[in-house]
Amino acid sequence: MAYRRKRRRVKKCKLCSMKVNYIDYKDLNLLSDYINEKGKILPKRVTGNCSKHQRLLRQAIHRSRHVMLLPYTTDQ
């Protein structure tokens, strides 16, 4: 019996569709969409970002953590 694999739908980069060129480290509403509940950055296979925007996102999250706008981890 042949099993059919379910095809995953290709995730589109939300930031490309919004035509974002720069991600501001002070925009906590945007950055919090790409962080899980433990404070870790979500991978691009989960978020569907392209490589360019994933790099910009990582850079902005690291900057906002450095100036203490975002926590490094959450206490359990």
75: in domain: no
39: in domain: yes
d(CA 2, CA 10): 24
pTM: 0.83
Instruction: For residue 14, give the nearest of 41, 49, 43 by alpha carbon.
Output: 49
d(CA 16, CA 55): 13
Q: What are 32-57's pLDDT values in tens digits?
A: 999 999 999 999 999 999 999 999 99
73: in domain: no
32: in domain: yes
In the block, which residue shows the tokens 């900057």? Answer: 63
Our count of domains for the chain comes to 1
8: in domain: no
- Per DSSP, the three-state class of 35 is strand
CATH at residue 54: 4.10.640.10
Domain that includes residue 61, residue range: 14-67
From the DSSP assignment, how many helices (H) and strands (E) are in the chain?
4, 0
